[in-house]
Chains A and B, each alone.
Chain A
């Protein structure tokens, strides 16, 4: 091997090394971003899971509940100058109330008549909320002031990660674990699942079916509020901020298998990471085409979702 050949090989190896390093950095960075966003989708999708598990209905106003959480927290904290903790608690409480209102006004009246019109009614109620916020909060996007979680960061293998980016997946996974444990290990959780199997039997066993279903919607609103408040510092707060999140979260819920809390949360993370990788490698122009195409492909292969299982119907 001549000196020039050795030099050429060295340069090629160096170039390959740099390329691998760059690709690794790109993928690692996309992973961090994707896990954060994916957890948001997962939290919202958990709301779909809970109401579906308890009542076989879903709340399509989830996206607007997420927006409500962010808007209320901003208003209480920034506009009214309340302490942050109080603003978060009040915001989440009102999101839960909103969830209960959705159930009482847009779901229960239709379910009682055996109609599926709750599908449209929850969408409509979400639009109503968006417009109410539009008139009261305004159309102007607002920015959450910088806080401890966004100004402090840690560096791992050359990649800077904000504390909030670390906290979001942790919160998402904790909620998923708590819900799964509640439904599988606790007596009351099992009782809630009984409602969806046979309402009359559940009622005879002393379960207040209406209250249980309303509580599940309140919990779904609460989870959406958590997602909204956590994403607000990373995004801008506006009346329409929840629309696309809501659609993606529903896709995630279906992808994960809507009956499985862990599955839904993991599907959220997979969706978020896939989206971030596509943006990193091909740009955001193609991200929605590609991610939704992947969802369709996954469902074509596994119609019950990645982690779901087919329901057994006894006849």
Chain B
């Protein structure tokens, strides 16, 4: 009787014992019951004119997270969790979102979006808080080369200074252009490229700059800009802008009946450029870091298959919009995961140091990364990783 009572009492108190033991165990630093997820933030344009870019980045990050979580997650079983915020291409909104992700959500790292001005607004905050920031689209040179020490900003994407060298070289070699007319958006991204293009022209004796025209996002008519460049003798247009104003430029060029070659930075691939620009959309040759067309590497085939499975509307490479966002984000997420794993924790300083000295090689989508970042270089991609493409209908096809 006594034994029964005693046993009953023990059993009745079991939940309390289990709870107490779990609490003790977790306080003692052992593996928690449900491993706390590693939160990764993403601040990008998820709505508005560049919404496609945000969705493309989301797909790349989500796909990489699925793969990592399927293999058991990071740091001995912690799953990755993506937390997204819409910056609406607005720098103050992006900064507010980044603050919330760092201080409220306590994310281990933040992914950026397409807009250089938004990324530039976030850079001082992440450097102050030492939260790793992974740029996967915005190409402004000053994003990674920001002068901070320590520098917590990394990028798996193009860099304006390198892109500018490529754009001028391509215009000269492909279209035999000798005088480039620059059509630049009037914002920090345009300014970044203005400097880069002027420097690139100094180093390239085959091509000079005929003129520079800066325009606003909501300019309806670009004919006066283009006429000015035409009168200055431009035989190619170098375009640095996102999709909607880029489309305005193409429409104005069509109205003028000027068949000048257009060589563009990749901002035009972040929205509905073919629809907005109309029949001449395919005349613009632009830069990318990856194309799902043509023969794919084993990683490329795997990612394409996974994209088709996860997003049923994707039947083939032609259905992948803004492929550069997906490709850059996919590789960047894997590199970040390697950094966290090598650091052994989500401690910001440890992750930064690990990223600057990644010991393992990663067979990525864009290339094989071998020491992608160093303390001096926070850009994983260089000019040799860029390709030129153009639209054919809604498809992005390589032209190089």
| A110-144 Cβ-contact flags toward B at 8 Å (1 or 0) | 00000000000000000000000000000111110
The yes or no answer to A231 lying at the interface (CB within 8 A) is yes
Within the complex, the shortest CB–CB distance from B270 to chain A, in Å, comes to 11
Most buried by A among B52, B248, B275, B279: B275
Whole-angstrom CA separation of A145 from B223 in the bound complex: 20
A181 contact set on B, CB distance < 8 A: none
The yes or no answer to B213 lying at the interface (CB within 8 A) is yes
| B34-66 Cβ-contact flags toward A at 8 Å (1 or 0) | 000000000000011101100000000000000
Q: Of residues 216 to 254 in B, which have CB atoms within 8 Å of A's CB atoms?
A: 216, 218-221, 223-225, 227-228, 231, 244, 247-248, 251
A139 contact set on B, CB distance < 8 A: 47-49, 51, 88
B256 contact set on A, CB distance < 8 A: 29, 160
The yes or no answer to A184 lying at the interface (CB within 8 A) is no
**B255 adjacent to A160 (CB under 8 Å):** yes
> Known contacts A25-B231, A160-B255, A234-B251; is A33 also within 8 Å of B49 by CB?
no
Residues of A within 8 Å of B, CB-based: how many? 37
Most buried by B among A30, A32, A37, A279: A279
The yes or no answer to A47 lying at the interface (CB within 8 A) is no
The yes or no answer to B257 lying at the interface (CB within 8 A) is yes
**B275 adjacent to A143 (CB under 8 Å):** yes
Whole-angstrom CA separation of A260 from B283 in the bound complex: 46
A291 contact set on B, CB distance < 8 A: none
The yes or no answer to B170 lying at the interface (CB within 8 A) is no
| A147-189 Cβ-contact flags toward B at 8 Å (1 or 0) | 0001101010000101001000000000000000000000000
Whole-angstrom CA separation of A26 from B232 in the bound complex: 11
Q: Of residues 78 to 102 in A, which have CB atoms within 8 Å of B's CB atoms?
A: none
**B228 adjacent to A235 (CB under 8 Å):** no
Within the complex, the shortest CB–CB distance from A274 to chain B, in Å, comes to 12
Whole-angstrom CA separation of A277 from B248 in the bound complex: 18
The yes or no answer to B304 lying at the interface (CB within 8 A) is no
Within the complex, the shortest CB–CB distance from B266 to chain A, in Å, comes to 18
Q: Of residues 30 to 53 in A, which have CB atoms within 8 Å of B's CB atoms?
A: 30, 32-33, 36-37
Whole-angstrom CA separation of A22 from B228 in the bound complex: 9
Kindly identify which residue among A22, A141, A151, A279 contacts B231, using a CB–CB cutoff of 8 Å.
A22
**A280 adjacent to B257 (CB under 8 Å):** no
Query: For this complex, into which size category does the number of interface residues on chain B fall?
Result: 35 or more
> Known contacts A153-B255, A236-B244, A284-B186; is A26 also within 8 Å of B231 by CB?
yes
A25 contact set on B, CB distance < 8 A: 227, 231
CB-CB nearest in chain A for B226: A29
A280 contact set on B, CB distance < 8 A: 224-225, 227-228
The yes or no answer to B215 lying at the interface (CB within 8 A) is yes
Within the complex, the shortest CB–CB distance from A265 to chain B, in Å, comes to 19
The yes or no answer to A8 lying at the interface (CB within 8 A) is no
B221 contact set on A, CB distance < 8 A: 33, 36-37, 234, 276, 279
CB-CB nearest in chain A for B227: A29
> Known contacts A29-B256, A141-B271; is A285 also within 8 Å of B224 by CB?
no
The yes or no answer to A244 lying at the interface (CB within 8 A) is yes
The yes or no answer to B272 lying at the interface (CB within 8 A) is yes
The yes or no answer to B214 lying at the interface (CB within 8 A) is yes
The yes or no answer to B260 lying at the interface (CB within 8 A) is no
The yes or no answer to B389 lying at the interface (CB within 8 A) is no
Whole-angstrom CA separation of A285 from B213 in the bound complex: 9
The yes or no answer to B72 lying at the interface (CB within 8 A) is no
9 smallest A-B Cβ distances: which pairs? A280-B224, A143-B276, A160-B257, A22-B231, A279-B224, A29-B227, A143-B275, A139-B48, A139-B47
What are 28 A-B contacts with C-beta separation under 8 Å? A26-B224, A26-B228, A29-B223, A29-B227, A36-B221, A139-B51, A140-B48, A140-B51, A140-B52, A140-B271, A140-B272, A141-B272, A143-B277, A145-B278, A150-B278, A160-B256, A160-B257, A235-B220, A236-B244, A236-B247, A236-B276, A279-B224, A280-B227, A280-B228, A283-B214, A283-B225, A284-B186, A284-B214
Residues of A bordering B, CB below 8 Å: 22, 25-26, 29-30, 32-33, 36-37, 139-143, 145-146, 150-151, 153, 155, 160, 162, 165, 231, 234-236, 238, 244, 276-277, 279-281, 283-285
Residues of B bordering A, CB below 8 Å: 47-49, 51-52, 88, 186, 213-216, 218-221, 223-225, 227-228, 231, 244, 247-248, 251, 255-257, 271-272, 275-279
